[in-house]
Amino acid sequence: MLGRSSPVVDVVSIAGVPVRVPDPDRVVHLQFRRFAGCPVCNVHLRSFAVRQDEITAAGVREVVVFHSPADQLREQAGDLPFDLVADPDQDLYRTFGVTSARRALLDPRAWPGIARAVAVTVPAVLRRRVPAPPPSPHGGRLGLPADFLIGADGTVLAVKYGEHANDQWSVAELLTLVRQEVPVR
């Protein structure tokens, strides 16, 4: 997919905002996350939320896709400051080649991120600051993350298919890619 034209995506976010990828006015960071309420995904996305002004100033539009129904996504992540897209049938996942695998949770490289996410999530759930993750999430727990950087002209500038649940670009990596526009895998 790297260097090719991105599939054209016309969807509506959970906030009712039309989302078109590619966006003719800016670069899109298209993130595929696991399920709404995924502790690893939530910690990761909160790191993007606190730096959203910096990301926007770099000319990037964040579009985040979950394989959860819209109502669950609103409940679990509706306060995030970017376009959140519910894809419970995983049509976009298939279109972009994003998969699931047991290694999502079994790969030892995921375990530090999982431990950190649990350490952040459990106290927040106990204090009722965030809802508990669903016990049996729609689409399962074994989804793998993926990141795409898509230019305004539709060219896929960079791609990362995660090898485990915590294998995704950090904000620093994203901003470096945007500055360099260097294709990476």
Q: What is the pLDDT of residues 107-122, one digit of tens each?
A: 999 999 989 988 988 8
Tokens for 172, please give them: 């620093």
In three-state secondary structure terms, 121 is helix
User: Residue 128's pLDDT band (boundaries 50, 70, 90)?
Assistant: confident
CA distance 137 to 55: 30
Taking 90 as the threshold, does the pLDDT of residue 97 lie above it? yes
Local structure of residue 143 (DSSP, 8 states) = B
Q: What is the pLDDT of residue 130?
A: 82
Which residues have a Cβ under 8 Å from the Cβ of 162 and sit 6 or more positions away? Answer: 104, 144, 145, 146, 147, 168
Q: What is the pLDDT of residues 12-43, one digit of tens each?
A: 999 999 999 999 999 999 999 999 989 999 99
Domain ranges of the chain: 9-141+151-167+175-180
User: Residue 184's pLDDT band (boundaries 50, 70, 90)?
Assistant: very low
Local structure of residue 100 (DSSP, 8 states) = B
Q: Which residues of 35-50 are buried (b: 16+ CB within 10 A; e: fewer)?
A: bbbbbbbbbbbeebbe
The structure's pTM equals 0.90
The listed CATH number (3.30.9.10, 3.40.50.1380, 3.40.30.10, 3.40.50.300) that belongs to domain 9-141+151-167+175-180: 3.40.30.10
> Which residues in the chain belong to E strands, given as ranges?
9-12, 18-21, 27-32, 60-66, 83-86, 146-150, 156-161
